[in-house]
Amino acid sequence: MSKTTVFTGTGVAIVTPMNRDGSVNFEKFRELVEWQIENGIEAIIACGTTGEASTLDDDEHIAVIKAAIEQARGRVPVIAGTGSNDTSYCVDLSLKAKELGSDALLLVTPYYNKTSQRGLIAHYNMVANEVKMPVILYNVPSRTALDIKPETYAELAKNPYIVGIKEANSNVSSMVKTAALCGDNIDLYSGNDDQIVPILSLGGKGVISVVANVLPKKTGDITRRWFDGDIRGSCALQLELLDLINALFSDVNPIPVKEAMNMMGMNVGPCRMPLYQMDENGRKALADVLRRHGLIA
């Protein structure tokens, strides 16, 4: 079978808004999905790290994915975060996401118990072969303490269902080796907003973005300009947004991006504990950056 490119351009790792009592605010979530699509985003990634998947129970997890699919109505692909450190649970959750109509899965590496590189190959191949739908691997060793090696990517790229990589290991040399080993057998997406252009320069297909939660159109313009041949303009936008990107990662994601959205009047509510609100110095510094970008008065 030929592999599917799930999307080209900018996908948003969308936040999960909460009510004051800590429950999921589905009305606001649907508003956010609609706003993202209206502003030209090319994919919605639901229940990822930024969506606080780790503190959603199973019913909420499924309901958030379902809401994203229903609101998107096929206008852009919806990628469901269903990764786990329990392979059988990952299969079960992924099958539920498939039944709902997800276009692809985002599968983070097993965390805490971790595994070996051989274990990663077995884990991902088992999930992909059981679920039989497009899978994007998600490598974020700063959170999982487990890094997918380029040689492991090359082996996993042989699986017809494993179609993409969200790379957030921040190691450009490793990304270069991955691109060299995998070629066109797997699509590469930046998992870090400050490395969109470097990933594109390696033949990458785009970004799964946090900053797009507050600036979807301008973030999307980085990839649109690149693919339109305006390399200089794409690079300029990447550099223009660097201070905002850094501000949105000045505390544990998604604490700052939710704080920023609340400052902008988007009313996405708090993060669930153990994620905790920023201190006053952090909030002031974040607000200063948002003002520089014209996002708040």
User: How far from 224 is each of 9, 10, 175, 198, 252, CA to CA, in Å?
Assistant: 7, 8, 22, 15, 29
Q: Is residue 262 part of a domain?
A: no
Asked if residues 254 and 210 have their Cβ atoms less than 8 Å apart, the reply is yes
Q: Is residue 259 part of a domain?
A: no
Q: Is residue 17 part of a domain?
A: yes
Which pLDDT score, from 0 to 100, does residue 2 have? 64
Catalytic residue among 124, 138, 153, 161: 138
CA 101, CA 127: separation in Å to the nearest integer?
17
Which residue stretches of the chain have pLDDT < 70?
1-2
CA 263, CA 279: separation in Å to the nearest integer?
14
Q: Is residue 2 part of a domain?
A: no
Q: What tokens does 16 get?
A: 């999960």
Q: Quick: pLDDT tens for 194-248.
A: 999 999 999 999 999 999 999 999 999 999 999 999 999 999 999 999 999 999 9
The CATH number for 206's domain is 3.20.20.70
DSSP the chain: -PPP---SEEEEE----B-TTS-B-HHHHHHHHHHHHHTT-SEEEESSTTTTGGGS-HHHHHHHHHHHHHHHTTSS-EEEE---SSHHHHHHHHHHHHHHT-SEEEEEPP-SS---HHHHHHHHHHHHHHH-S-EEEEE-HHHHS----HHHHHHHTTSTTEEEEEE-S--HHHHHHHHHHHGGGSEEEESSGGGHHHHHHTT--EEEESGGGT-HHHHHHHHHHHHTT-HHHHHHHHHHTHHHHHHTTSSSTTHHHHHHHHHTT----PPPTTS-PPPHHHHHHHHHHHHHTTS--
Asked if residues 109 and 139 have their Cβ atoms less than 8 Å apart, the reply is yes
State the helix-helix crossing angle for 87-100 and 58-72, rounded to 10 degrees. Answer: 30
Q: Quick: pLDDT tens for 145-160.
A: 999 999 999 999 999 9
Q: What tokens does 151 get?
A: 């040689």
Q: Is residue 221 part of a domain?
A: yes
Q: Is residue 91 part of a domain?
A: yes
Q: Is residue 206 part of a domain?
A: yes
Bridge partners, residue 162, by sequence = 135
Catalytic residue among 28, 166, 205, 218: 166
Q: Does 138 qualify as catalytic in the annotation?
A: yes
Q: Does 258 qualify as catalytic in the annotation?
A: no
Against a cut of 0.85, is the pTM above it?
yes
Q: Is residue 282 part of a domain?
A: no
Backbone angles phi, psi at 105, to 5 degrees: -115, 145
Which pLDDT score, from 0 to 100, does residue 3 have? 83
Q: Which domain holds residue 213?
A: 9-230
Give the total number of structural domains in the chain.
1
